[in-house]
Structure 1
Amino acid sequence: MSVTQVSPHVHVETAYLGSNNSIIVGTDGVALVDTPHKPADAQAWRRVVDGFGTTRFVVNTDHHPDHTIGNFWMGGEVVSHRGTRDRLLRDAPTEEYLRDLFEVIDPDAVDLLPSYSVRVPEVVFQDRLDLHLGDVHLELRFQPGHTANSLLAYLPQDGVIFTGDIVCESSLPSFQDCRLWDWFDAIDAVESYDFDVLVPGHGEVTDRSAVERYRQWGRDVAGEVAAAIDAGQTLEQACDEIRFEDLIHVGNEDYTGYPDPLIEMFQRNSIARIYHDLSERPELAR
């Protein structure tokens, strides 16, 4: 584990499998942004977090398991867009899904499943919400992009923005829960903020330069799908042939990644989503 202080009030962990996890420290407690994916990491993270003070809020930037599984082990109130609560109530990962996943990424966690439950947000908002921690406050804004219920979190005192998977530094995430026009609009929204430090959903802490790079990655894969449509390829053909680099779900020397069938599902669902959206609005590829 390697926690890095990136501003006067913010500490970030980027080394876990799953989303980045952040600690925001104020004079009146601590707020977290997203929680670890692996139960072993979540329990270790709780011990680290408690060293900074009492957790008052846990912010989930979307409903995906790599941002929310660790909620179960955290203190404070979980905060999200109302759509994230709805998705976790309606489409929470099943015990079968979690068992299959944990058997690969965290085998010891399989024994925890009988006592585990998906913790849904207790505090939700529709458009904007401010969270106050004494001398600092965190501004939350609903911003559909990576998902229909994604949010941006902004700490104006430190010039830090937490983008969740609206911007990632390591590679593209799945497109399966987005609409392509929202995906690009959300990147524009990030650019409109006054910030020096960008904490992405995945990858290293970065700066404004990451925004255009990420936008271009999206344009590149959208262009490939558009070319396939123009060439008369069917949806099935495009899903068979087009792939984008995934450094988010694959393993490396530090951790075991997702099962191959799950990564393949993410790829196919992503290309299908882009294909459908470009069929409706082809100008998005330009």
Structure 2
Amino acid sequence: MSAADLKLLSVLDILLEERSVTRSAERLGVSAPSVSRVLARLRQVTGDPLLVRAGRDLVPTARALELHDDVHRVVEDAAALLRPATLDLATLERRFAVRANDGFVGAFASRLLARLRAEAPMVELRFAPEGESDDDALREGRIDLDIGALREMGPEVRIQTVFRDHFVGMARADHPIFDAPITPERFCQYDQISASRRGRALGPVDKVLADLGMKRRVVLIVPFPKTALAALPDSDLIAPVPNHVRRSAEAMGARLRAFDLPLTLEPVVIGQAWHPRFDKDAGHQFLRQAVREVCARS
């Protein structure tokens, strides 16, 4: 592959991420007309429009979507080959892509970025939304880390525990649940919210309640814990959420109050997962260490 070919692929990778000539030019540090000329060359080489106008935006063609994962992997692999064996954090220019849920992002994103930029002031941190079952994102290099509750992700994926958490109950500050000791029976009296990106109403709380011969009433299901918290201030609903989500809500001044669940639940183990191609990558090692340090201080 020639240097010109690699440059074309690098620009195509950014164009397909940004879907904007202007934003791509800003990331590349060049003019928008320069990116437009490269896009024209890419269209000529591939025989496909790649990005087409849809209103004020650009949208990828079917061929572009087909190419994107492979293009990104080639660009990432080439960049890894050209990185120096010794890492100079002061001059490191790299965008780290991390997949995590909004609870983790709210609790740790700003602190993680501050930790990274304290030593590597030119790095960027991009959080991708948590997917349903897109484990290929790690293998294909579309993300650097996947952070979340530990689960099986295939034999080749590296997984490391970063912290353990537990569930707490959340409700508006003047909720009637606080008027008396919170027992399992009183906990089940109030309508509840389930936060599940898979749309599930039942989870670990319901299993423990079932063992006690009890059942709660879930009337609202939302995809993210922070979305559940947003529904609490003006209702009598309650929501069990991970404790780190509670801390991020309190830091933002939410008018909510936490309570210990009157149930014995297994701790939630949060881990970071990565592909072994990054085991010896010094920049990636720096990222993983920063995640561990920031989470350890939580």
TM-score norm. by structure 1 comes to 0.27
| Greater radius of gyration (CA) | 2
TM-score norm. by structure 2 comes to 0.26
Q: Which has the higher contact order (CA 8 A, sep 6+)?
A: 2
Which has the larger helix fraction? Answer: 2
